[in-house]
Structure 1
Amino acid sequence: MEQTLSVGGQVVRPNEKAAGVSQLTIFQAGAKAGMTIANTDTDGSFVIGGFQGKDTARVVVQARKEKGGSNLLIKLNPRWPEVTALTWPLPAEPQPAVTAYLQQSQKQQKAERQYRADTAKTIMLKGVTVAGRKPTPRPDARRIYGQADVVLRTDDIPGSNSFFSVLQLLQGRVAGVQVSGSAPNFQVQIRGGTSISGSNSPLFVLDGIPVDIDAVNTIPVTDVETVEILKGPSAAIYGSRGAGGVIAIFTKRGNSNYDYSKTPAPGIATAMLPAYYQAREFYAPRYETAARPAQPRPDYRSTTLYWAPTLRTDATGQAQVSFYCSDDASTFRVVVEGLSNAGTPGVGTGEFKVGN
């Protein structure tokens, strides 16, 4: 059984290859704030434990190379494995226990509604109108055309960060676009396009500005948002320069609507760990208060009447508890579970009846 929370993953280079041994600095924010320093394995893998927390724990992992560089990526392991949902046949008729529970719940709700009506302390609130404003995306001035023939989004391509350049990303992915050669000497041709000079090379446009192919080769794939291809009539808006087709590249930072919080910082990853359950205080009515109402609310509790999670016995092994029963005449079951000083578990059960 895992006694504390842990975070694991792998440190890789921008090309998704293992980064080797790296130094990790782990920060935990919140009430249990702290810092831990550790090293990864030779393949960049790591599992760090010892984190405490309730509800949710925020952990920040920072990785650096042994020589001090931080141009790394941290891939955190998923917290839970993928689960396949199972479909179970529904019962033809409700079970007797479920029917009895629903009837008891309806009885309790009816009594509570009657109680609220009889106390004459109900205050009717006036309606309140809350107005919100949805942010309007700013128009993207980088596009001077309407709809592209082909649109590739790097976030939709698995492993896109492993490609060395955008042109390598296009190889074999777009019909009619032929990318030959190797980095950095790629040659690109769009089928059916030829300029007046006889060249069949497409026009490259970076964030709305025409550039040459050498500039395209220097763009990291991680900075690219979309790649759009224009063929034939769609490229006519660029005149004779677009006769061979157009490859428009749009970067994330060039988008005026881009959310920079979604861009991971090099060598830093944040994990939100589902921590241990924050136990709530068990509800039980208190009838011994001085401000007891003249018409006490009917008590139709039919589930758990009392719960003491940290009860301790005295030197003789005895313990005493007191609680209020419900107004229903019924038979209640008592379950006691615990551990001895030697760690031996034990359990005991019993019953008692409550009459009218």
Structure 2
Amino acid sequence: MFLKIGEINNIIHNYEITLDYIIAVVGNSKESHLKIFDKSLKVQKDLQKYSAYDFINVDKYIIFTSNNADFSYAYQKSDERILKLPYILHIKGEKIDEQYLCYSQYEGKECYLLISLDSLEINKIFNIAIGFGNVNHIVGNMFISTKRHLGIFALFDLSNKLRWQANLGELGSYEDWRGKHKGEIHNLYYYRDTILVNSGPFIFCFSLNNGELLWSLRSNIEARFYSMVINKNKAYLLQNQNYTVIDIVNGIFIIEKKIDTFQYQGKEVFFDAHGEPVYNQGFIWSSLYSGGVSFVCAIEPSTGDVVWVQHLESGYKIESIKFNNNQMYILDTGGTLNILENIN
């Protein structure tokens, strides 16, 4: 299905694929900077004079912050100028239309800034104590803030007014061989005016409008829910050996299945999925790590069957999987971005 056509080395965590380019932070734990590659993997721009640990890519600019988080810059795409910004953005933040809300430093103080992605000007300054001291998810002109380990999350508007609050401490409590556990928040997802929450063996669905609990499900196969991918009205969850599909609208399980092993080159291999699953080309894609070997697999969503497996030769674990047109991009923990092309 996919054949490796190239690689980019020394990527430090973050990269983005556009129609024409690959933008990446390259280097090592001590020194790193931005590089822009074309689709043939030739370097088109090397911003080695400016250190960078992370970036955001928007229409007019690539905005990045230096390694020591002492400066933020904007690479202006139209004329390739580098603009030094009057604030420091501790990327990542959240995009709101053509604005960006981010934990920042301005005039020597920590704060949250809402900046224009067109002019780069500051539209609003928020106290560092916005919400519960963090912005977890932006929904329209509202944001979700969390106390993850206490199982608390709430909806605030941009004036920092509390709209509603929910507590999963008791709702999400459970007991296993290690003892009793209070409900915690692992991940939140927005879907059509609802908020889905992964909390241990539970999935909760809340109304965005008023915080009402619409439904909750507990795994029947002892799964622990950490991440999901949503396509249409279904949520797909894959962790370790547990594959789960949920009808989001009706709040019911469609599939709960354990995938014990898969076949690779005539051998039976233990199935152990990790990381964020991806929905693409009608399949669920996931990274596997078994016996010191990394794989990428494609799963048929309606059955949970493994239909394609590719061995990653580097031996490192897989950090992320992304797709662009007919190409798959696999970043491993050794900093190599493996580029594969669909040959069908």
TM range (shorter): under 0.3
- Report which of the two has the higher share of helix: 1
| Greater fraction strand | 2
Bigger Rg over Cα: 1
For normalisation by structure 2, the TM-score amounts to 0.21
> TM-score w.r.t. structure 1 length?
0.21
Relative contact order: is structure 1 or structure 2 higher (C-alpha 8 Å, sep ≥ 6)? 1
